[in-house]
Structure formats: C-alpha cells, structure tokens
C-alpha cells in the first residue's frame, strides 16, 4: 500500500463522513457522524442545514480518519468533497453562510405551485432537466418573500459540496454535476442558464464559476487546518455530486449502465451520452462529472432512512443481541428475514413511491397485511423483509421507466452504497428485477469517486475515467432465483395497487404522507 493518501469528505442526507483511500483505491480509514435536519418553527415542510453544527461534525470525521491514517496529515496528497444534490448555501459579502437547506427541504410549496401554474416550471425543466419541487428556483422565491433581509444580503450561492470546498479553501466554485442539481443550469451547455436566472430575477454575478472535477482551486487554509487536523497547504480539489461520483467510483462512465446507489435515498441511474429529458416529467437528468456525459435518475425517497427508523424504533432487543454477538444489527435482521419466502408472509411495506418529478407525492408510511391470528408469521422479521422488498419494487418501477425513455433493454444492474453491504437485500433486488446484480468491492463508492478526482488534482492520475476503470473492483455477482423472480412479478403488481390506494388516503388529507414535494 502506498503511503500517499487521498481524502474525500461526503455530506450526505443522513450522515457525513471522511474517507481516506490509498492510491490503489484501498479504503484506509473512515470517520462518520449521523445527523438530522430540524424543521424551522412555524414553517411547514422546512428543513434546515445547520452549517455551524454540521461543519463541527465534519471536522470530527476528518480527525477520526486522520487518527487511523499511516503517516497522519502529512500523507494526505489532496482533499476533495461531495454531497447530496439540491441542498444549497447562501453567503453574505463577508463569505459567511446566512441560509442553508438540505435536499429534502420543501417549504417553498406555494412558490413552486406559482411556477407550475405560470408555465415557468415546465420551461425550467426543459432547460435544466429537473423539476422545481426541490430545486433552487422556488427556494429563491421563498427567501425573497419570507426573509427579504437575507435575500438582499446574498453575495454568493453554492451547493452543499461547494460549501465544504469553501470552508476548506475560502474559494467559491461549483462543478457541472452539483451545479446542475440546482435546477438553474442549461443542461446541454453544462453551465448556469441565463434564461432560468432571468425567470428567478437573479444576477449571474451571485453564482460561482463552473469548473471541471479534478481542478485544484486552492489549499487548506490555516483556519481549516486548525479545525480539521489537516495540514495547511494541502491541495483542495473539486469533486462533485454524490450519485455521479458513486458511478465513477464503480467505473460506470459509459452509456447504458443501470446502477442503484443505495444510501439514505436510492438513486436509480442510467448514464447517457446526450442530455435526454423524460417527456412525461417523471425522472430527472443531471450532468455527470465526466465531460460529455449525463445521467438520468429516479429517486427512491428515504429507502435507507426507513431502515434506520425501523432499527431505532423497534429493534432494541436485536441491537442488544447483535452487540453481544459482535455483529452489525442489520446483519442479524437480514439473517432472520432470509428465512422467509418472497412476500414476507403477506406483509407489504408502504414507503417510497416511484418518482414522478412534476408531481412527487408519497403515501403515509406503514405496513399492510399482518395476520394477527398468527404472530409467528407477522412480526419484526416480516417487517424488515417488507422494507427491503418495498425498496426493490421502487427500483423495478424506475428500471421500467428508464428502459422506456432511453429505448434500451438493461441486461444487468450494479448495486453500491450501504445497501450493498448485506446479503439479503442484493438478492431481493436481483430477484425483483430478474437481473444479475453486481456488487463492487468498495461500498463507499461516492467517496472513492471524490478521491479519484483528488488524485487527478494531485497529479497521481492522468484521467479520472481511466483511473476509475483501473481501481473499480467487483467482489461478486448476485444471480436472480427463477422461482423468486416469478413470485415478485405478481407481488410487484399487488404492491403497486396497494400503494396507489394508500396514496389516496394521503391525498385526501386523512393521514400524513411520508413526504410531499413542494408545489404538488
């Protein structure tokens, strides 16, 4: 293993992490902290990204990783960053963050509805490839209307991954992959859209330069070095958006590959060689980190977070048993759920919906189908399997749309992220999709993608795509079981109908939805 290390900092939806890699792609160390985003009092749908508290957590992650690093801070050749998409940060003229939100903030419901009714939302979608429900146009309108002093003070705009780079180096930039997630890009040109900025009444001077991933923009400042433990002067390199970097990290840069990035959210993606936009407004298209490439995706909302909720709310006994056995609690739960047949003894999970970007609404979360007369067949094991199956059904729904819009037939899938660490979930996905599912060796593929660009900036790699192809390794392929696949054909149709009817209860206002996009 080389004594030269590359650091990737990742601000996800549910946690932040700092991951160290050797030049050969081996993961050396990681620090991680879970976080959540609080609602602003009196502002329904709002979620606040606490820049001060979350920067402290990020610094703790970096220090944890450095503590396990051979050679310490001096071994770090470069640092890069990645984050969830859509989340954004506004700064004043001093460069201080004055407003920030994560991707799931949906306070701008009225403003998004106004953009829809005026026809501006459709025009923005045709330029940018993303709807206004969780992107910047409606959010800027909300800030201007409800926090005019903040709006008047805006001097810089950045996405959350850009914010990490700014905290490290003091520089303001974005890249095409994160920038395009704002909904304010000209997707084909991979640059800020003058037309969308005009619709929003914003000046181009507020928005940072767009530079390619792998570009060195500066160095770790003395202040950032004191906070993180990094060496002052360490090169700071542009990374990109989490999903696009995850694709790079597993070597997916060519068109036609279907990939599931299974984290807090699940991103179901296909790489394109043109900025193809779904004419029915279901999926979204963003720029890839790779020049001349784009990515169409459908999002499985909170698929991973639902698992965390179930663990924390209902599995106290399992957590204690897993602690005694020295294993991860998810491994214990999967082991038990694997004994069940497809369909979880009739229990269905109602959580994420298949994406419909221009009207994205979710049913109230819950389980259906308990047999209370037979508690041995209607307990936590069934619920756990139903959660995994519900996420796989969402994957199947997105695969069907991707194949139809892109005009292709997918022959295999790749699964990366936290969901790929288990054994049961990959098998359920393979069976539900009726496709082989390849599992990469490095599950922190988003961080690896960012580290690859850090290596480009440090001069350790000549080309990110070539480096990714060399470093990407797959540990196994999960083949679908023919009988299980046949069962999931019927189960998917039942789940789809159950979800449709459950959604009617949310639409009627009788129960609280899992999540509702702004403007729906």
Average pLDDT taken over every residue of the chain = 95
Query: Are 32 and 114 part of one and the same domain?
Result: yes
Output the six-digit token pair for 113.
């509805």
- Per-residue model confidence (pLDDT) at position 201: 92
Task: State how beta strands 437-440 and 413-416 pair.
Answer: parallel
Tokens of 35: 């976080």
Residue 2 has pLDDT above 70, yes or no: no
Site of tokens 């508290």: 53
Q: Give the mean pLDDT of 253-272.
A: 89
Residue 460: its pLDDT value, please?
Answer: 97
Compute the distance between CA of residue 353 and CA of residue 302 in angstroms, rounded to an integer: 10
The whole-angstrom separation of Cα 414 and Cα 257 is 8
Do both 172 and 195 map to the same domain? yes
Q: Where are the alpha helices (DSSP H) in 357-476?
A: 380-406, 424-433, 445-457, 464-471
Structure tokens at 133: 């429900």
Asked whether residue 328 falls in the same domain as residue 468, the answer is: no
Boundaries of domain holding 173: 5-250+442-475
Q: Is 1's pLDDT higher than 50?
A: no
Task: Based on the fold, state whether residues 174 and 273 are members of the same structural domain.
Answer: no
- Tens of pLDDT, residue by residue over 137-162, are 999 999 999 999 999 999 999 999 99
Nearest CA to 505 out of 368, 364, 394 is that of: 364
> What's the pTM value of the predicted model, to 2 decimals?
0.87
CA–CA distance, 112 with 520 (Å, rounded to integer):
8
How many domains, in total, are found in the chain? 2
Place of tokens 């950032």: 224
The CATH number for 366's domain is 3.30.420.40
Opening angle at CA 108, ends 175 and 238, nearest 5:
10
| C-alpha closest to that of 216 among 459, 466, 443, 44 | 459
For range 6-15, the mean pLDDT: 94
Give the mean pLDDT of 10-15. Answer: 92
How many Cβ atoms are within 10 Å of 222's Cβ, its own excluded?
Answer: 10
pLDDT for residue 56 is more than 70: yes
- What's the pLDDT score for residue 252? 83
Q: Which of these, 375, 373, 252, 353, lies nearest to 301 by C-alpha position?
A: 353
For residue 383 the two structure tokens come to: 């619920």
Same domain, 181 and 289: no
* Share of the chain residues as helix, strand and coil, in percent rounded to the nearest 5: 45, 20, 35
Residue located via tokens 């859509």 = 86
Sort strands 235-241 and 76-83 into parallel, antiparallel or unpaired.
Answer: parallel
Q: What is the pLDDT of residues 323-365, one digit of tens each?
A: 999 999 999 999 999 999 999 999 999 999 999 998 889 999 9
Q: What is the CA radius of gyration of the chain?
A: 22
Task: Give the Cα separation of 394 and 497 in Å (integer).
Answer: 13
Residue 192 has pLDDT above 70, yes or no: yes
The reply to whether 336 and 414 lie within a common domain is yes
Quick check: 232 and 74 in contact, CB under 8 A? no
Contact by Cβ (8 Å): 242, 266: no
Residue 442: per-residue pLDDT: 79
What 3-state class would DSSP assign to 218?
strand
Q: Looking at the structure, do residues 358 and 276 belong to the same domain, yes or no? A: yes
Do residues 398 and 518 share a domain? yes
**C-alpha 299: how far from its chain's center?**
8
- Say if residue 122 is in the same domain as residue 222: yes
In this predicted structure, the answer to whether residue 7 has a pLDDT above a threshold of 80 is yes
In this structure, the answer to whether residues 258 and 149 fall within a common structural domain is no
pLDDT digits (tens, 9 = 90+) for 292-301: 999 999 999 9
The Cα–Cα gap between 520 and 508 comes to 13
Is residue 139 a contact partner of residue 101, using CB atoms and an 8 Å limit? Answer: yes
Does 63 share its domain with 200?
yes
Are 449 and 248 in contact by the 8 Å Cβ rule? The answer is yes
Say yes or no: 422 and 448 in one domain: no
Question: Looking at residues 397-417, what average pLDDT do you find?
Answer: 93
Using DSSP, state whether 447 is helix, strand or coil: helix
Cβ pair 428, 492 in contact under 8 A:
no
DSSP 336-389: HHTTSPTTGGG-EEE-PPPP-GGG-B-PPPEEE---TT-GGGSSHHHHHHHHHH
Whether the predicted pLDDT of 191 surpasses 70:
yes
Indicate the pLDDT class of residue 519, thresholds 50, 70 and 90: confident
Contacts with 42 (C-beta within 8 Å, 6 or more apart), sequence order: none
- Residue 43 confidence class, pLDDT cut points 50, 70, 90: very high
Q: Which residue has the tokens 């989490």?
A: 242
Q: Give pLDDT, residue 520.
A: 77
């Amino acid at each position: 293993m080389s004594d030269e290390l590359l650091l990737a900092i990742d601000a996800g939806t549910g946690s932040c992490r700092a991951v160290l890699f050797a030049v050969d792609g081996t993961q050396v160390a990681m620090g991680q902290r879970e976080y959540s985003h609080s609602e602003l009092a009196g502002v329904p749908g709002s979620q606040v990204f606490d820049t001060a508290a979350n920067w402290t957590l990020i610094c703790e992650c970096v220090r944890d990783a450095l503590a396990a690093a051979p050679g310490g801070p001096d071994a770090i050749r470069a640092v890069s960053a990645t984050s969830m998409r859509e989340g954004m940060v506004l700064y004043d003229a001093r460069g201080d963050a004055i407003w920030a939100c994560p991707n799931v903030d949906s306070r701008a419901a009225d403003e998004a509805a106004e953009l829809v009714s005026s026809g501006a939302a459709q025009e923005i979608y045709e330029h940018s490839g993303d709807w206004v429900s969780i992107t910047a146009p409606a959010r800027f309108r909300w800030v201007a209307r409800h926090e005019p002093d903040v709006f008047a003070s805006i001097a810089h705009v950045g996405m959350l991954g850009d914010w990490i780079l700014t905290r490290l180096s003091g520089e303001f930039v974005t890249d095409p992959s994160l920038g395009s997630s704002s909904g304010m890009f000209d997707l084909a040109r991979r640059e800020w859209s003058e037309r969308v900025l005009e619709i929003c009444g914003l000046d181009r001077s507020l928005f940072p330069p767009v530079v390619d991933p792998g570009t060195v923009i500066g160095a770790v400042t003395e202040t950032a070095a004191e906070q993180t433990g990094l060496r002052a002067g360490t090169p700071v390199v542009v990374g990109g958006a989490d999903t696009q970097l995850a694709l790079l990290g597993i070597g997916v840069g060519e068109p036609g590959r279907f990939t599931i990035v299974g984290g807090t959210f699940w991103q179901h993606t296909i790489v394109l060689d043109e900025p193809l936009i779904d004419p029915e407004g279901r999926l979204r298209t963003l720029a890839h980190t790779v020049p001349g490439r784009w990515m169409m995706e459908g999002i499985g909302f909170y698929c991973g977070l639902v698992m965390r909720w179930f663990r924390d709310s209902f599995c106290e006994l399992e957590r204690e048993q897993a602690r005694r056995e020295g294993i991860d609690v998810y491994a214990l739960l999967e082991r038990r759920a694997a004994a069940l047949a497809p369909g979880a003894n009739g229990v269905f999970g109602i959580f994420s919906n298949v994406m419909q970007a221009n009207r994205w609404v979710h049913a109230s979360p819950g389980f259906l189908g308990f047999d209370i007369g037979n508690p041995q067949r209607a307990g936590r094991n069934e619920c756990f399997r139903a959660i995994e199956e519900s996420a796989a059904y969402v994957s199947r729904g997105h695969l069907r749309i991707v194949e139809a819009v892109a005009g292709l037939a997918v022959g295999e899938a790749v699964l990366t992220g936290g969901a790929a660490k288990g054994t049961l979930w990959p098998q359920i996905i393979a069976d539900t999709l009726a496709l082989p599912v390849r599992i990469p060796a490095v599950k922190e593929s988003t961080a690896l993608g960012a580290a690859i660009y850090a290596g480009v900036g440090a001069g350790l790699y000549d080309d990110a795509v070539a480096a990714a192809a060399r470093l990407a390794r797959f540990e196994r392929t999960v083949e679908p079981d023919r009988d299980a696949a046949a069962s999931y054909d019927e189960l998917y149709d039942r789940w789809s109908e159950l979800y449709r009817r459950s959604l009617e209860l949310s639409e009627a206002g009788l129960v609280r939805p899992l999540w509702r996009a702004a403007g729906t």
